[in-house]
Amino acid sequence: MMKTIWIFEDKDLLRKGLEELLNLSDEYAVTGSYPDCLQITETMKSGLPDVVLMDIDMPGRNGIEAVKLIRSQSLKPAIIMLTVFDDNKHVFDAICAGASGYLLKKNISAKLIAAIEDVLEGGAPMSPSIAKMVVQSMQRTVNNPYQFNKSEQDLLLLLCQGNSYKMIAAATGFSFETVRSYIKKIYEKLQVHSATEAVSKAINERLI
């Protein structure tokens, strides 16, 4: 079954280019394409897609505000931010608002399809420079309030770097099912239900 995608992007050429790129695939269908998110509350009434591609800098209402509105209604869609911004504030604000991943626009053509695949598998994809910045901005702490063991701590770090379960398995040598089991335990300890929530909590509480 094809996965449905909405695009919010105020640059017409880029938005049309993303539509064409995704519609070339047999796996994805662009069911909504918008130059802004001013009417997003009304748009959501018709149902939500599997994935939302959200620009940050749009007229009238920015993408971070739109993500908050989506998350106030549902945890369902994976949301990937597409932006030229790579500063700490925009990255952290987007993740804390509920974004599932974060890609710089200069990486879109090469990274978008893989990012969508990753996010649908439960990962939190980010452009390499964004992932590096997130990790560098986090502070390791001796305090371990959730009592993570070494493997859980390592997997949480890999998750925060934007790795999918498959990528984590390859990096650690664990099987896919072992990774899934570890991350389930991490979610239980953090009292969250998704990679997005886990990454957001890890950033806010400086657990990594």
Q: State both tokens at 50.
A: 């599997």
The answer to whether residues 149 and 92 belong to one domain is: no
Q: Of 179, 129, 127, 188, which is closest to residue 154 (Cα–Cα)? A: 179
Name the β-bridge partners of 30. Answer: 5
Residue 29 domain-assigned? yes
The answer to whether residues 76 and 20 belong to one domain is: yes
Q: What is the pLDDT along the chain (208 residues), one digit of tens a residue?
A: 889 999 999 999 999 999 999 988 889 999 999 999 999 999 998 889 999 999 998 988 999 999 999 998 888 899 999 988 776 678 778 888 888 888 888 878 888 998 999 888 888 887 777 777 666 665 444 456 888 888 888 899 888 888 888 889 988 899 999 999 999 999 999 998 888 888 888 877 877 7
The answer to whether residues 124 and 144 belong to one domain is: no
The answer to whether residues 17 and 95 belong to one domain is: yes
Q: Answer yes or no: are the C-beta atoms of 102 and 80 closer than 8 Å.
A: yes
The answer to whether residues 120 and 33 belong to one domain is: yes
Query: In this structure, is the dihedral angle defined by the CA atoms of residues 45, 28, 102 and 123, taken in order, positive or negative?
Result: positive
pTM score of the predicted model:
0.69
How many Cα neighbours within 13 Å face the side chain of 17?
Answer: 10
Q: Of 17, 13, 14, 49, which is closest to residue 32 (Cα–Cα)? A: 49
What is the total residue count of the chain?
A: 208
Domain count, the chain: 2
Domain stop point among 89, 106, 128: 128
Segments of the chain assigned E as strands? 3-8, 28-34, 51-55, 78-83, 101-104
The answer to whether residues 103 and 9 belong to one domain is: yes
Question: By residue range, what is the domain housing residue 39?
Answer: 3-128
The answer to whether residues 20 and 116 belong to one domain is: yes
Q: Of 101, 43, 96, which is closest to residue 71 (Cα–Cα)? A: 96
The single residue listed with the structure tokens 């964004």 is 130
The answer to whether residues 155 and 103 belong to one domain is: no
